[in-house]
A and B are shown apart, each in its own frame.
Chain A
Amino acid sequence: MRAIRDHLRRVSRPADARPGRRPPGAVTHPERTDDPAVLRWVVHGTELPFTGPLASAPGLDGLLGGDLEAVTVTPGAVLTTAAPGRSWRELGPRVRAALGTALGSVADWLPGPGARRLDADETLRWCARELIDGPVGRIATAHGGAIELVDAHDGVVRVRMHGACRGCPAAVVTMTQRLEAQLRRRVPDVRAVEQA
């Protein structure tokens, strides 16, 4: 009993609240997309083998074609499309478990038609495009501006500002910083986001 108390007291120090060893569970969480039928499972710590539709993967095969209409692999995330009439609340936990199994053996994933492995520049461009079309671009739009992706090469992403953002140094700095920070979380070897 004393041992339990002592143990818990040691654990309770804030310094111990950090990750020690990697837990065995897959490091993933679902996010909404603009399409309610599509859920985006963000994956950390596992490199996904290709980008494009998934034909088959251990664990997911039981759902593909039934509860799941489609599974699409992107850099750093897996998009799952529910079959009509399915609810994510009910389906979600099963997809999570299946994805956990699948992420345990990505080498066994089979690509669907058109799926292929992206090179470094393509991956960078893909991720930048996703952020600009998604959360970062939405903020620019909310402030009456827009961001255009010019190119992505060798760890450097170049963008162009339009609308209210153009010519406003503050907007340029916050937008590029925001984009760079979020991009770096997905593509660790990004070097800079620059204005074209």
Chain B
Amino acid sequence: MSSALSHHAHAGSADSGGGSPRIALIGSPNGGKTSVFNRLTGLHAKTGNYPGVTVSRSAGVARIGGAEYSIEDLPGTYSLSPISPDERLVAELLDGGVKGIGAPDGLLVVADSTALRRSLLLFAEVVQRHMPTALVLTMSDELTRRGGSIDTEALGRALGVPVVTVVANRGIGIGELRELITGWRDWSVPPVDPPTDTAELAGWVDSVLAAGGYEDPRADARTERIDRVLLHPVLGTVIFFAVMFGFFQAIFTWAAPLQDGVEDFFGWLAGLAAEHIGNPLLSSFVSDGLLGGVGGVLVFVPQIVMMYFILALLDAVGYMSRAAFLMDRLMSRFGLEGRAFVAVLSSFACAIPGVMATRTLPNSRDRIATMLGVPLATCSARLPVYILLVGILIPDGTRVGPFSGRGVAMFLLYLLGGVSALTASAVVKRITGRHDGVLPFYMEMPPYRIPTPRSVGIAMWEPTKAFLRKAGTIILATTIAIWALTTIPLRGDAELAAAGVDPGDEVAVTAYTMEHSAAAAIGKAIEPVFEPLGFDWRIDVALLGSLAAREVSVSTLGQMASALDPEDDSEVAQGLDGWTYTDGPRAGEKVFTPATTVALLLFFAFALQCMSTVAIMRRETGGWRWPSIAFGYMFVLAWVMAFLGRAVTLLIT
């Protein structure tokens, strides 16, 4: 605990950049706060988490006239009387109540000028903190387009603080804003606090707006026309599913060739390394451990880039809030809100983008619940495993009515993934939320906008960078660890020959090395745990291998089944079909009986056999607590489900 504290204290002092003034941006979600932040800090932002909570924190440095200013983009908030954990965090932060992060020196309230009335309520609460405060009005171009107006100077006089107008996505007014920041010490605190009494406050807001010559913008005609179609109960839902189908296709199918490319490239590099490095241990380390690990990380990048590109585009255009609105009814049955749908959907491609997509949820309790559920969705890494096992379980040509038996089994497995993911989230939400009251659902429908390449680019690049940097290290370390466990110690030719293995037969050598490796020792050691499920030590090793990535288990099984080409599923299946127990009371019996296969399928369906997901959960939640809980509960669930599946299969066969 003390080390965690000192770590945060260190992070805090690093953020303040050795005493440079800390200016915090505070404003409602979708108010243009992040655009302002990006303009001020360029691409020098650091993202992370606030200590102890799953609220992401982004801080950056603005260099203005030779001086440095730390700019912090606070989580979006409508009010300082908190109703969500994010809002509570903002309130505590302003009071200096967050450990290791002092109260900021100055506050920039960022307000959407098309919804100024509401923003002034937040402003009224903020200036009561008596800190140097200034107001930034965003989206003034849209205010003008929709027939509204504001007299910035008169508004500043009425509020008693400096006011600047910006159009952040086009860079207009940023110069004045930077100029304003240099004079943060002179930002005035109004002589009298705005009222707290509701009636007085309403009168104050009206008076300030009247003095500032504020004309409310007309409802956006273009937005209303588009919404009549996109929010239509039938048509809107159809369009929504079409959009989501496209989204799913993009990250599942269009990214596949790129992923194959990445895989092939690293396979080629690994081949080169294996060919040109003489030392067998070093060669194996470089080709299997290092390049295998790096490739295993980079293979996710096309999916992540593709997902964030589409998410950023849909969000910038304004469609995400509509999609969330349409799905809210369905998701609320599971105790989640509409925005969680995107996370669940993405996890059908991969749990990593799914976990990362939970960032769009404004409430951290929903984020945790969704994050703990989404790894159960049928991700693409489960697909090769399912194809292999379903191939063993169901003979080719089996038909269920007009459909192929294997196809139906696959469909059921996908359905199982979706239902269990949502159910798990619902249960987590129940458990974590039992002390909380009702959290009101507040979602804005921003007008449709044409996104700028810059904003989409930043929204796409930031999470990708974070993935590469943080998850990359953990995935790489895990892959190398598993490589070491399955490979070390290397066997000399003499030892191989003594054991009756032909040193020239690569597959046989691999099989021998693996059987006598540390991993095998572990596999045999944990055999009692999986014995009730019918798994032998080799399946246990495959399960260990699948911790790096589920697909690895297919090649691990393949290697151990001594198939000629471990990547070819049909040959692996044949090899496994003839597999028998090597020792113990069941020696000689067939391993892949229908009961064991069902158990293994169910185990893969429920277990969190993916260190990458664990790594990304650690990153997103800022600690090991939630990933440990996720791993633990899914392991128990998987074991119980596999056991039940095996028992039922034994009964009916």
Give chain A's interface residues, CB within 8 Å of chain B: 1, 4-5, 8-9, 12-15, 17-19, 23-32, 36, 39, 42-45, 88-89, 92-93, 95-97, 100, 135, 139, 181-182, 185
The answer to whether B6 has its CB under 8 Å from any CB of chain A is no
The answer on a CB contact under 8 Å between B200 and A29 is no
Q: Which of A4, A24, A27 contacts B210 (CB 8 A)?
A: A27
The answer on a CB contact under 8 Å between A5 and B441 is yes
* Contact-residue bracket for chain B: 35 or more
The answer on a CB contact under 8 Å between A135 and B207 is no
Complex alpha-carbon distance, A45 and B211, angstroms: 12
The answer to whether B213 has its CB under 8 Å from any CB of chain A is yes
The answer to whether B496 has its CB under 8 Å from any CB of chain A is no
Among B207, B210, B441, B443, the most chain A Cβ lie within 10 Å of the Cβ of: B207
Q: Which residues of B contact A24 (CB under 8 A)?
A: 199
15 contacts between A and B (CB under 8 A): A5-B440, A5-B441, A8-B441, A9-B443, A17-B117, A23-B198, A28-B204, A29-B194, A29-B204, A42-B158, A45-B206, A88-B192, A96-B195, A96-B200, A185-B211
- Rank and list the top 6 A-B pairs by shortest CB-CB distance, nearest first: A92-B192, A25-B203, A25-B199, A23-B202, A29-B207, A88-B191
Complex alpha-carbon distance, A140 and B176, angstroms: 20
Q: Which residues of B contact A5 (CB under 8 A)?
A: 332, 440-441
Whose C-beta in chain A lies nearest to the C-beta of B443? A12
Whether A28 touches B191, Cβ cut-off 8 Å, given contacts A14-B219, A135-B153, A182-B213, is no
The answer to whether B396 has its CB under 8 Å from any CB of chain A is no
The answer to whether B216 has its CB under 8 Å from any CB of chain A is yes
The answer to whether B587 has its CB under 8 Å from any CB of chain A is no
B331 to chain A, nearest CB (A): 12
The answer to whether B125 has its CB under 8 Å from any CB of chain A is no
B454 to chain A, nearest CB (A): 25
Q: Which residues of A contact B198 (CB under 8 A)?
A: 23, 25
Q: Which residues of A contact B234 (CB under 8 A)?
A: none
The answer on a CB contact under 8 Å between B445 and A13 is yes
B484 to chain A, nearest CB (A): 53
Q: Which of B190, B438, B444, B447 contacts A4 (CB 8 A)?
A: B438
Q: Which residues of A contact B192 (CB under 8 A)?
A: 30, 39, 88-89, 92-93, 95-96
The answer to whether B577 has its CB under 8 Å from any CB of chain A is no
Q: Would you give the 0/1 interface string for B59-74, flagging 1 where the beta carbon is closer than 8 Å to chain A?
A: 0000000000000000
Among A15, A24, A95, A135, the most chain B Cβ lie within 10 Å of the Cβ of: A15
The answer on a CB contact under 8 Å between B206 and A44 is yes
The answer to whether B618 has its CB under 8 Å from any CB of chain A is no
B120 to chain A, nearest CB (A): 10
B510 to chain A, nearest CB (A): 58
Q: Which residues of A contact B117 (CB under 8 A)?
A: 17-19
The answer on a CB contact under 8 Å between A15 and B219 is yes
Q: Which residues of A contact B438 (CB under 8 A)?
A: 1, 4
Complex alpha-carbon distance, A31 and B155, angstroms: 11
Q: Which residues of B contact A32 (CB under 8 A)?
A: 157, 160, 191
The answer on a CB contact under 8 Å between B114 and A181 is no
A189 to chain B, nearest CB (A): 16
Whose C-beta in chain B lies nearest to the C-beta of A28? B207
